[in-house]
Amino acid sequence: MYQFYFFDLDGTITDSSLGITNSVRYALAKYGIEEPDRKKLYRFIGPPLAESFREFYGFPEEQCQEAIRYYREYYRDKGIYENQVYDGLEEVLKKLKEVGKQLVVATSKPEVFAREIIRYFHLDSYFSYVAGMELDGGRGTKAEVIEYAIRSCGAEDRREVLMIGDRKHDVIGARQAGIDCVGVLYGFGSEEELKEAGAAGIAASVEDILKYA
């Protein structure tokens, strides 16, 4: 029986596609790169930004860090609010809290932004902790964020911890940290991606998360 539920943020708690893709477009424009097809930029949702700029556009490390700074210029003031909570998600959080579960956010987004988003949508009463990466790149992998979240919430038995996320990075990070992960299909990852990464279960809808309570 799981006691601790670690929720990814982008693609799991909120649909952040508009804000993230607008921020990526803003950064790419600094290099004369235009991407008219917004859906091609959905692949930026979930993984660490440096990894995405490197993998999808071939940026060397120094340029990745510069691109992240440009991305944050837009995201900090506008992109962070171009966002919405998935329908039914708050009710799921409420039901998990009612049966005594401890809820934690574990995201590759910088922690300062994640905390602002959770406050903005008035979800902070549900979560005992919000764990994310550091602005300087520290805790740069999902496994590092999960380890940090485990320490922060005092989860001593990893068998009691469940990660919930929409991309393979959530599953892989969870496995590296020795915990189970349920992949959700309403976000930005496919069932094939999640199963290949080793997801312990699949939630087709927001409400399906409660099957693992």
Enumerate the active-site residues: 8
Task: Tell me if 71 sits within 8 A of 49, measured CB to CB.
Answer: yes
Closest to 166 (Cα-Cα) out of 56, 63, 89 = 89
164 burial type by CB count under 10 A (0-12 exposed, 13-18 middle, 19+ buried):
buried
Query: Long-range contacts: 152-158, Cβ < 8 Å, 24+?
Result: 152/104, 153/4, 153/102, 153/104, 153/128, 153/129, 155/3, 155/4, 155/102
End-to-end CA distance of the chain: 7
Numbers of helices and strands, H then E, in the chain = 8, 8
